[in-house]
């Protein structure tokens, strides 16, 4: 009997193709994401935090689920590394304890709820977004930008979601960069107040002014009221496109702001930041920076694609693009300081001569 013929990639049979597992895993990535968001939505991690070690029957009755649902969800969450099997029961892994319970300082439950509420539906239309170049999470015929949403609960959900991602990221930035010489920082598009509160906690001599749209300043004032540093978080309501000038400060921060806008819009914001700074003042741009090589990293590349789904003209920009913009505006000592956060992998810094 002769050995089977290899027909190559275009035929029907090949002896030794590469493993399909990576493609299979990508194809079911949505299942994993939805397992996580359903676990959060149903309060699974909160239940197991209060009652560690409970088994399928108790979880089913505690969460008012059919037994089969509880069993499948528990097994899936354990397989994804969110839960740990303990005897006949389950308990939260440490990451679930930190990030999947609502009242924890670095909770990501607001972020996960935001994705579930509006973002995933937009991603379901990714091919449409790619073909048309238009966002799919909001109607660009009737709304001017992502931030025009008039639904109060959607507004609250957006800044609660951002807060979860940005709190941890802000502490990473505050450790990566020494801000001890700065007393007054302008947080442009600083809605949610995560950077303002975290940096004020880390730097007792610092006052942060959040410059954002008037309704966002109102939401943010409520969000920071109980932060313990509210007296050092000030507000300057405004619109960085409509306003001629931004309030003058020693340093300006832009976190996850520029990726919402196209290149001309970014340069217009950056020009106003430059004008607002004194000689020696610093600009800090915190983003998920793309590599100049155009092939990653994956977090920045997918956030960039997310900007297609979520914005009219935004994308994540590469390190070299940001540096070139700052150079062209006359900033000196332009450099990137790397760090690792969910909302940023580095900060581009420039100094006004």
Binding residues for ligand SAM, rule: CB under 6 A, are 147, 162, 166, 189-192, 194, 212-213, 216, 239-241, 255-257, 260, 343
**In angstroms, what is the minimal distance from the CB of 195 to ligand SAM?**
6
- Identity of the residue, 38 or 305, whose beta carbon is nearer to ligand SAM in the bound complex: 305
Structural element, H or E, at residue 186: strand 184-188
340 catalytic per annotation: no
Which residue bears the tokens 């008037």? Answer: 214
| Residue in 252, 325, 258, 314 with CA at minimum distance from that of residue 283 | 252
Least distance in angstroms from the C-beta of 228 to ligand SAM: 19
* Residue least distant from ligand SAM (Cβ): 191
Tell me whether residue 35 or residue 209 sits nearer to ligand SAM (CB atom): 209
Q: How far is the CB of 298 from ligand SAM (least distance, A)?
A: 20
CA–CA distance, 90 with 281 (Å, rounded to integer): 52
Other C-beta atoms within 10 Å of 150: how many? 8
Order the strands of the 332-338 sheet from edge to edge. 233-237, 207-212, 184-188, 251-255, 282-287, 346-351, 332-338
Which residue number, 39 or 314, has a Cβ lying nearer to ligand SAM?
Answer: 314
How far apart are CB 206 and ligand SAM at their closest, in Å? 16
- Residue 85 has phi, psi (to 5 degrees) of -75, 135
**Which listed residue (21, 259, 274, 340) is catalytic?**
259
Residue closer to ligand SAM (CB basis): 168 or 331: 168
Can you tell me the distance from the alpha carbon of 4 to that of 11, in angstroms, rounded to the nearest whole number?
13
- Active site residue ranges: 259
């Amino acid at each position: 009997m002769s050995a089977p013929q290899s027909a190559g990639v275009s035929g029907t049979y090949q002896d030794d193709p590469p493993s399909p597992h990576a493609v299979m895993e990508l194809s079911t990535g949505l299942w994993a994401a939805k397992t996580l968001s359903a676990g959060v939505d149903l309060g699974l991690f909160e239940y197991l935090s209060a009652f560690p070690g409970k088994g399928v029957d108790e979880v089913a009755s505690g969460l008012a689920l059919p037994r089969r649902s509880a069993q499948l969800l528990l097994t899936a969450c354990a397989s994804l590394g969110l839960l740990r099997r303990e005897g006949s029961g389950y308990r939260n892994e440490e990451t679930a304890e930190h990030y999947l319970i609502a009242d924890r300082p670095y909770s990501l439950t607001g972020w996960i709820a935001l994705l579930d509420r509006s973002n995933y539906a937009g991603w379901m239309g990714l091919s449409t977004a790619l073909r048309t170049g238009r966002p799919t999470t909001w109607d660009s015929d009737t709304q001017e930008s992502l931030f025009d949403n008039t639904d109060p609960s959607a507004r609250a959900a957006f800044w609660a979601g951002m807060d979860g991602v940005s709190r941890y990221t802000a502490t990473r930035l505050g450790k990566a960069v020494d801000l001890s010489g700065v007393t007054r920082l302008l947080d442009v598009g600083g809605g949610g107040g995560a950077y303002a509160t975290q940096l004020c906690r880390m730097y007792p001599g610092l006052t942060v002014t959040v410059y954002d749209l008037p309704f966002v300043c109102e939401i943010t004032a409520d969000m920071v009221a109980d932060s313990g540093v509210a007296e050092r978080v000030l507000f300057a309501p405004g619109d960085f496109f409509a306003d001629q000038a931004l309030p003058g400060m020693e340093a300006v921060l832009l976190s996850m702001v520029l990726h919402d806008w196209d290149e001309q819009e970014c340069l217009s914001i950056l020009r106003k930041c430059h004008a607002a700074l004194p000689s020696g003042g610093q600009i800090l741009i915190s983003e998920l920076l793309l590599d100049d090589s155009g092939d990653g990293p994956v977090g920045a590349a997918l956030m960039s694609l997310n900007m297609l789904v979520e914005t009219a003209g935004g994308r994540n920009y590469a390190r070299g693009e940001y540096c070139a913009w700052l150079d062209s505006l006359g900033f000196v000592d332009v450099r990137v300081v790397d760090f690792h956060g969910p909302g940023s992998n580095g900060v581009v810094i420039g100094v006004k001569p």
